């Protein structure tokens, strides 16, 4: 497993074939032995399922609690996770849209927020069996295939998500976070309170917060691709460049100039298909 990119902290690989379950992406990571002892995690509008099958990953959240091994975090996890320490780890990161995450993880999604929950606490012995199964497989492609089937089986057994919430999430994602929440409520024929309550109970996020996180995600990747902050702000629906600056600072405690050097964003062209600095940003 590897990218041939000496500038990355980890070897990274993504699946050749699309994942069967809508709203799911995944990538494999292996430590190169140069991960610094403390590393900032950049928020992303998805539930992150980190399946560790080799070495260790240790996290410290904003409350000072430590987590080891496989874990799951809610959308916007970078606001809570303060540090990461790793030791020769191998893992697969699965990103789940908030709607899909409910099918995979159940009602716990509504309580995640930006919290970190170990899979052992969530699933007990099953979490250990998942790690053992992944470690026993000979290659990353086989691990991707196994996880794909495992996710499909969990989703097949799940109850259907709220159709209105699923529609609202798709509209937020398609608009890159720029759609007005009151317009969503009107189109659904719901009150704003009803939309807020149902969206929050299904995804763990209020709809306005979800839209803000989606908009930030697209904006920060526009910056990583080398676009000027003023242009990113204008096309991202920000009131002005200062508005963009405030959002970046709110999510990362960095500026638009400094956030582009974050290691977690440097891998995104390999892991998730985001444009790299110097490339032509498709659709941004």
**pLDDT digit string, tens, across residues 195-204:** 999 999 888 8
Residue 4 lies in a domain: no
In the block, which residue shows the tokens 């709220």? 162
What pLDDT score was predicted for residue 77?
Answer: 64
Contacts 24+ apart (CB under 8 A), 162-166: 162/198, 162/202, 164/188, 164/190, 164/195, 164/198, 165/99, 165/198, 165/199, 165/202, 165/203, 166/99
What pLDDT score was predicted for residue 167?
Answer: 96
What would the mean pLDDT of 26-45 be, rounded to a whole number?
84
Domain of 258, CATH number, reads 1.10.10.60
Residue that wins the pLDDT comparison between 9 and 4? 9
Q: Are residues 152 and 22 in the same domain?
A: yes
* Nearest alpha-carbon partner for 282 in 216, 225, 240: 225
Q: How confident is the model at residue 179 (pLDDT cuts 50, 70, 90)?
A: very high
Q: Examine the fold and report which residue of 94, 127, 157 is the final residue of a domain before the chain moves on.
A: 157
**pLDDT at 193 exceeding the cut of 60:** yes
Q: Examine the fold and report which residue of 130, 157, 184 is the final residue of a domain before the chain moves on.
A: 157
Q: How confident is the model at residue 188 (pLDDT cuts 50, 70, 90)?
A: very high
Which region, left, alpha or beta, applies to residue 44 given φ > 0 means left and ψ of -120 to 50 means alpha?
beta
Q: Are residues 119 and 153 in the same domain?
A: yes
Q: Are residues 74 and 176 in the same domain?
A: no
Q: Are residues 126 and 185 in the same domain?
A: no
Residue 3 lies in a domain: no
Angle at which helices 163-174 and 181-188 cross, to 10°: 140
Q: What's the CA gap between 177 and 266, in Å, rounded? A: 23
Q: Are residues 142 and 256 in the same domain?
A: no
Largest Cα–Cα distance of the chain, in whole Å? Answer: 54
What pLDDT score was predicted for residue 280?
Answer: 40
pLDDT tens, 125-154?
888 899 999 999 999 999 999 999 999 999
Q: Are residues 142 and 175 in the same domain?
A: no
Q: What separation in angstroms does the CA of 220 have from each of 48, 260, 264? A: 18, 7, 12
Q: What's the CA gap between 34 and 253, in Å, rounded? A: 24
* Domain total of the chain: 2
13 DSSP assignment: E
**pLDDT at 276 exceeding the cut of 80:** no
Q: Are residues 145 and 171 in the same domain?
A: no
pLDDT tens, 47-64?
889 999 988 777 765 566
> Where is average pLDDT lowest: 58-72, 81-95, 195-209, 269-283?
269-283
Residue 141 lies in a domain: yes
Locate 98 and state its tokens.
Answer: 């908030």
> Where is average pLDDT lowest: 53-62, 159-168, 172-181, 248-257?
53-62
Helices vs. strands in the chain: H and E counts, helices first: 13, 7
Q: Examine the fold and report which residue of 132, 157, 182 is the final residue of a domain before the chain moves on.
A: 157
**pLDDT at 38 exceeding the cut of 60:** yes
Q: Which domain holds residue 230?
A: 163-271
Specify the pTM.
0.87
């Amino acid at each position: 497993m590897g990218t041939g990119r000496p500038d990355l902290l980890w070897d990274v690989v993504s699946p050749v074939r699309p994942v069967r379950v809508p709203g799911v992406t995944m990538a494999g990571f292996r430590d190169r032995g140069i991960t610094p002892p403390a590393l900032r995690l950049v928020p992303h509008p998805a539930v992150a399922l980190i399946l560790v099958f080799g070495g260790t990953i240790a996290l410290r959240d904003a409350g000072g609690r430590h987590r080891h091994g496989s874990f799951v975090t809610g959308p916007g996890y970078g606001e809570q996770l303060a540090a990461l320490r790793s030791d020769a780890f191998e893992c697969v990161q699965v990103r789940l849209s908030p709607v899909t995450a409910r099918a995979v993880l159940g009602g716990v999604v509504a309580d995640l927020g930006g919290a970190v929950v170990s899979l052992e606490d969530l699933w007990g012995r099953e979490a250990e069996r998942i790690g053992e199964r992944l470690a026993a497989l000979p290659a990353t492609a086989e691990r991707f295939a196994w996880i794909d089937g495992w996710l499909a089986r969990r989703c097949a057994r799940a109850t259907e998500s709220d159709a209105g919430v699923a529609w609202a999430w798709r509209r937020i994602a398609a608009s890159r976070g720029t759609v007005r929440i009151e317009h969503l409520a009107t189109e659904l024929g719901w009150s704003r309170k009803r939309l807020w309550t149902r969206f929050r109970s299904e995804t763990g996020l209020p709809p306005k917060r979800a839209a803000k996180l989606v908009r930030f995600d697209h904006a920060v990747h526009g910056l990583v691709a080398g676009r000027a902050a003023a242009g990113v702000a204008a096309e991202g629906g920000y009131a002005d460049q200062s508005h963009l600056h405030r959002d970046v600072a709110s999510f990362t405690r960095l500026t638009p100039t400094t956030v582009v050097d974050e290691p977690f964003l440097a891998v995104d062209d390999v892991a998730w298909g985001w444009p790299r600095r110097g490339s032509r940003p498709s659709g941004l």
